[in-house]
Every structure is written in C-alpha cells, then in structure tokens.
C-alpha cells in the first residue's frame, strides 16, 4: 500500500482485533470470526488488512477455549493472541490486550473480527485524517443503520458519545452516522479510559464505545472520519449478514479480476475465493465456482458449470463445461479437460487432455497424452492410495480401468475397455479384455 506523507508522520499503529465474542446471533457451534467469506475465515481477511499497515503489533483477542481462533489468527499474521477470560463486552476485550500493548507508542487501532470487508486504505485514512485526536472513530452512514451504535457529534462535528442501539432513545436512533467499530486511541490514554468504563447499560457489558464520552469529559480531543463506502464496514452478526458480506466481497473480487483482464460473461454467477489468481485474457463462462488456492494462466477458458479448488491451471487450457478440479491438480498448459472429468492430486504435462467422463487421481499424465472417455485411475484399494504414472504421447482408449500402482510407458497404447493391472512398456499396446465371440443365432423357420 502506498502511504501518504501524513500517514507516515503519524507512525505505524499497534492493532487490536476483537474476536472473542460468541456470535450468539449466528446460531452456530463455530466461533463467529471463523465463518468464511470468499473461502477464507473473516478473521483472516481482517488480519490481512491490518498487516498491510505494517503495524507495531497485531493483537487478536480470543475467548477461552477458542484454540481454532488463535490458530487462524497466527496463521493470518497476528503477532499476539490474548484471551479475554469472560465475554464482558468490547471494552473489556480491549482491556485483555493491555499487557501486550505496553511499550507500544503512538496509537492503537481497534476493530472487530466480524467486519471482513474493511480495507487497509480505509484504516489508513482514519489514522491520517484524525492525527492528534486522543480518540478517533471511523464513522459510516449505512443504508440501514439497524444494530449499529449511533455517533453523536457536537456543533463542530466532533464526536461526543456513541450510543448503542439498545440504549438509544427514539431521537438517537434517527441519527444516520454510525460507529463502524473501528477506533484509534492514543496508547498513553488507553489504560485510564478503559479503567473508567462501567457496565450500566442495556446489555450489562463494558462497551468500548463509551471511551468517546469518557475522553470528552476528561477534556481529550475526539475525532471522526467518515468512510466513503459503508458497505466496507458491514459487521456480520447473523447468517443473513454473512451472506450480505459474501455478496459484497464477491462483487469486489470480480471487479478486481475484470480489471486485471479477465472476461466474465455473467460475473454475478461466478464465485471467487480471496486468493484466486488470473492471468490476462482468461475467459470465464457462467456458473463457475473457484474454491481456495486456484491460479489460472493466460488465455485459458473456463467453461460453464465447472467446480475448481486447489488447482494450478496453466496458459491456453480449456476446462469444462462441467469439469471438477480438486486440490493438487496441476495443468502445465495447453491442456483440455472436458465434461464430467474429475481430477485430484494429478499433474497433466503440457498438451495432455481428458475430454470426457474420467476420474484421474494421484496420477501423472505425460505431455500430449490423450485420456479416452470413461478412463478411471483406480487409486484406492479401500485402505491406501496408489499412483498411476502415464508417460508422454500415450493413448488411453475409452473405458480403461488403470489399477494403481501402475506405469504406462511413453508412446504406449491401452486398448479401449482394458483393465490394466501390470505396467505397460514404452511403445507397447496393451489389451486386457476378453476376446469377442460372435455366435450364429438359429434362423427363424420360414
Ligand atoms: C459493535 C459496537 C457498535 C458498532 C458495531 C459495528 C460496541 C459496544 N458496539 O456492536 O457500536 O456499530 O460493533 O459492527 O462496541 N467481542 C469480544 N469480546 C466481547 C464482546 C465482543 O471480543 O466480550 C468482539 C466480537 O467478537 C466482535 C466485536 O467484538 O468481533 C464486536 O462485538 P459485537 O457483539 O459484534 O458488537 P456489535 O453489537 O456488532
Ligand atoms: Mg458485530
């Protein structure tokens, strides 16, 4: 990210991501921040946005027993994971991070693990525009403010208090400016401000949002910056909101892909993951799903109704319609994978193709080799998996069963309908099927 001069002068912040909430409204056994958007936990999106600011620390606050949250946080790049012993509110959650924030200077940027669309640009914008404020709030004006805290400002437009919806009067609920959940607080004031919180409110929680009113009462400067797009700060508290975040993220990823030179005939029906990567001039037909870990090379065409995950697809390939590429698929380039072909943990060297109705698992397919319709690599004996190795320029006839472990040499030919249990030497033809017998039928009398 390119930082403006002003941002640089404010210094890198320390970052705290709040992620200890139960997420009761999700009605799920899984911690809220692990629910996925574009194939990745919400927490991972948020931590990545944080990391782009090159902060002093990235502290994630998790709940007791949330080992999976801690692991996801570390994997995404968090420097520290702290535990909030009891879920007593967002203010109490930030308190749990105080010990690891000792020694941090400048400002502490706090936001929620349940707002996966937040970008480093917007976080940087808040820091840049509110330099010098002891407490700064990123405001937003969502179309539907229901559920968000309302940001009350004075005549000069400076924040006075944040009122949570449950505690708000009719008049306060009419305020359009909401708390996005992103705040920047000067590290030196943090212990005092948090120490002054109480839980006398509708939820009986220690609200982090109360630090605004407390700071004002102590004569500290409070600032606000309003996010250009409220959608970016959508907080996910329910499955419906998770779906809304997904839709917004998909729109963002599709726009980014098209910007990079991908053609989509019906963008709204193409589902991408946060890490899907495309070369130029890739074409994607309608109804295609990209799970995590997919790279698609230049000029490759992905035809309708294909399901692809964990696959590296080279340049100039044709995939689908109705293809299924599972993790470990590597296509070197110039490959053709047609309808109803499933591929898993298999390398297709340049020019290899399987045009119809096949399962290729745990295999290597040599350059220019043709896999006939209905070919199956029988890779599993009920207990273990075995590899099938097929050389270059091989022709596998239709409906062949290749019982692994087995090796087919370069230039070999496997006759249609064969069940291959032994290696085939290079250049040989293998036929493994019963010889056909034609029997003369008794002619009808007359
Ligand atoms: C919070 C804000 C609200 C803001 C909204 C933006 C407060 C009191 N309210 O409301 O003003 O408009 O976010 O989305 O801050 N968490 C903990 N420990 C806790 C409670 C929560 O770590 O004890 C974490 C949750 O995991 C979550 C975040 O804090 O990631 C926010 O909690 P949540 O319950 O979603 O707050 P909201 O009601 O959305
Ligand atoms: Mg929330």
Task: Encode pLDDT of 315-374 as tens digits.
Answer: 999 999 999 999 999 999 999 999 999 999 999 999 999 999 999 999 999 999 999 999
Mutating to test ligand 1, I would choose from 87, 210, 235 the residue with most ligand atoms within 8 A of its C-beta, which is: 235
Ligand 1 contacts CB of residue 315 (under 6 A): no
- At residue 443, the pLDDT reads 77
- Residue tagged 């109480």 (tokens): 198
Q: Confidence band (pLDDT; 50, 70, 90) for 6?
A: very low
Task: Encode pLDDT of 170-202 as tens digits.
Answer: 999 999 999 999 999 999 999 999 999 999 999
Q: Are residues 248 and 191 in the same domain?
A: no
Ligand 1 contacts CB of residue 209 (under 6 A): yes
Judge whether residue 2 has pLDDT over 60: no
Mean pLDDT of 105-127: 97
How many domains in the chain?
A: 2
Q: Which ligand lies nearest the alpha carbon of 210?
A: 1
Select from 185, 200, 233 the last residue of a domain: 233
Task: Encode pLDDT of 427-440 as tens digits.
Answer: 999 999 999 999 99
- At residue 314, the pLDDT reads 98
Q: How many residues does the chain have?
A: 446
Select from 212, 233, 254 the last residue of a domain: 233
Closest residue to atom 31 of ligand 1, CA basis = 112
Q: Mean pLDDT of all residues in the chain?
A: 95
Residue 106: CB atoms within 10 A of its CB come to: 17
- Own/partner pairs for 157-160, CB < 8 Å, 24+ apart? 157/224, 158/221, 158/222, 158/223, 158/224, 159/135, 159/212, 159/216, 159/222, 159/223, 159/224, 160/212, 160/213, 160/216, 160/222
Task: Encode pLDDT of 405-414 as tens digits.
Answer: 999 999 999 9
Q: Are residues 202 and 280 in the same domain?
A: no
Q: Confidence band (pLDDT; 50, 70, 90) for 21?
A: confident
Ligand 1 contacts CB of residue 152 (under 6 A): no
Select from 200, 233, 266 the last residue of a domain: 233
Mutating to test ligand 1, I would choose from 139, 165, 181, 202 the residue with most ligand atoms within 8 A of its C-beta, which is: 181
Which carries the bigger pLDDT value, residue 6 or residue 116? 116
Mutating to test ligand 1, I would choose from 73, 90, 161, 240 the residue with most ligand atoms within 8 A of its C-beta, which is: 90
Task: Encode pLDDT of 225-245 as tens digits.
Answer: 999 999 999 999 999 999 999
| Residue 322 CA, ligand 2 centroid: distance in Å | 39
Q: Are residues 252 and 229 in the same domain?
A: no
> Going by DSSP bridges, is the β-strand pair 150-153/159-163 parallel, antiparallel, or unpaired?
antiparallel
Q: Are residues 133 and 252 in the same domain?
A: no
Q: Are residues 206 and 273 in the same domain?
A: no
Q: Are residues 133 and 269 in the same domain?
A: no
Residue 72 lies inside a defined structural domain of this protein: yes
Residue 7 lies inside a defined structural domain of this protein: no
Ligand 1 contacts CB of residue 206 (under 6 A): no
Residue 3 lies inside a defined structural domain of this protein: no
| Residue 271 CA, ligand 2 centroid: distance in Å | 25
- Own/partner pairs for 295-299, CB < 8 Å, 24+ apart? 297/333
b or e along 406-424 (b: 16 or more beta carbons within 10 Å of the residue's beta carbon)? bbbbebbbbbbbbebeeeb
Domain of residue 255, residue span: 239-430
- At residue 4, the pLDDT reads 45
Residue 370 lies inside a defined structural domain of this protein: yes
- At residue 446, the pLDDT reads 62
| Residue 445 CA, ligand 2 centroid: distance in Å | 86
- At residue 3, the pLDDT reads 45
Judge whether residue 280 has pLDDT over 80: yes
Q: Are residues 293 and 163 in the same domain?
A: no
Residue 367 lies inside a defined structural domain of this protein: yes
- The residues annotated with a catalytic role in the active site are 356
Q: Are residues 287 and 174 in the same domain?
A: no
| Residue 355 CA, ligand 1 centroid: distance in Å | 51
Residue 115 lies inside a defined structural domain of this protein: yes
Mean pLDDT of 70-85: 97
DSSP type of residue 26: G
CATH of the domain at 75: 3.90.550.10
Contact predicate 43/137, CB 8 Å: no
Q: Are residues 212 and 248 in the same domain?
A: no
Nearest atom, ligand 1, residue 115 CA? 14
Contact predicate 187/107, CB 8 Å: yes
Task: Encode pLDDT of 247-267 as tens digits.
Answer: 999 999 999 999 999 999 999
- What percent of the chain has a predicted confidence (pLDDT) above 70? 97
Rounded CA-CA distance 325/10 in Å is 47
pTM: 0.91
- At residue 399, the pLDDT reads 98
Q: Are residues 144 and 110 in the same domain?
A: yes
Residue 26 lies inside a defined structural domain of this protein: yes
| Residue 434 CA, ligand 2 centroid: distance in Å | 67
Q: Are residues 119 and 189 in the same domain?
A: yes
Residue 380: CB atoms within 10 A of its CB come to: 12
Ligand 1 contacts CB of residue 371 (under 6 A): no
Q: Are residues 69 and 188 in the same domain?
A: yes
Ligand 1 contacts CB of residue 237 (under 6 A): yes
Q: How far is CA 322 from CA 42, 51, 302, in A?
A: 30, 38, 10
Residue 243 lies inside a defined structural domain of this protein: yes
CATH of the domain at 266: 2.160.10.10
């Amino acid at each position: 990210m390119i930082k403006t001069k002003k941002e640089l002068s404010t210094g890198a912040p320390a970052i705290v991501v709040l992620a200890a909430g139960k997420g009761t409204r999700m009605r799920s056994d899984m911690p809220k921040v692990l629910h996925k958007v574009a194939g990745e936990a919400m927490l991972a999106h948020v931590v990545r946005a944080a990391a782009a600011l090159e902060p002093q620390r990235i502290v994630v606050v998790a709940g007791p027993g949330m080992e999976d949250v801690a692991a996801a946080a570390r994997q995404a790049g968090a420097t520290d994971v702290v535990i909030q012993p009891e879920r007593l509110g967002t203010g109490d959650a930030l308190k749990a991070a105080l010990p690891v924030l000792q020694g941090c200077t400048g400002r502490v940027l706090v936001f929620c693990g349940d707002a996966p669309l937040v970008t480093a640009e917007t976080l940087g914008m808040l820091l840049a525009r509110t330099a010098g404020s002891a407490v700064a709030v990123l405001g937003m004006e969502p179309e539907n403010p229901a559920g968000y805290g309302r940001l009350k400002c004075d005549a000069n437009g400076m924040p006075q208090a944040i009122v949570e919806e449950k505690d708000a009067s009719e008049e306060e609920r009419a305020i359009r400016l909401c708390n996005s959940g992103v705040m920047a607080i000067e590290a030196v004031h943090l212990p005092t401000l948090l120490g002054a919180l109480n839980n006398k409110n509708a939820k009986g929680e220690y609200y982090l949002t109360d630090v605004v009113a407390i700071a004002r009462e102590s004569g500290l400067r409070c600032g606000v910056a309003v996010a250009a797009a409220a959608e970016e700060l959508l907080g996910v508290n329910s499955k419906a909101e998770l779906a809304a975040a997904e839709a917004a993220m998909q729109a963002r990823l599709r726009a980014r892909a098209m910007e990079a030179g991908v053609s989509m005939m019906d963008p709204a029906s193409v589902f991408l993951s946060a890490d899907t990567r495309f070369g130029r001039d890739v074409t994607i037909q309608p109804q295609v799903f990209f799970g995590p870990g997919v790279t698609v090379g230049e000029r490759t065409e992905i035809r309708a109704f294909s399901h692809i995950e964990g696959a590296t697809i080279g340049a100039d390939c044709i995939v689908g319609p109705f293809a299924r590429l599972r993790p470990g698929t590597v296509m070197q380039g110039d490959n053709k994978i047609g309808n109803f072909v499933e591929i898993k943990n298999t390398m297709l060297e340049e020019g290899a193709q399987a045009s119809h109705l096949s399962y290729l698992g745990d295999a290597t397919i040599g350059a220019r080799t043709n896999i006939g319709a209905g070919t199956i690599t029988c890779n599993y004996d009920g207990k273990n998996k075995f590899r099938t190795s097929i050389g270059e320029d091989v022709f596998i006839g239709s409906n062949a069963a290749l019982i692994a472990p087995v090796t087919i040499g370069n230039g070999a030919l496997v006759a249609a309908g064969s069940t291959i249990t032994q290696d085939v030497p290079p250049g040989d033809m293998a036929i493994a099927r019963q010889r056909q017998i034609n029997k003369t039928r008794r002619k009808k009398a007359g």
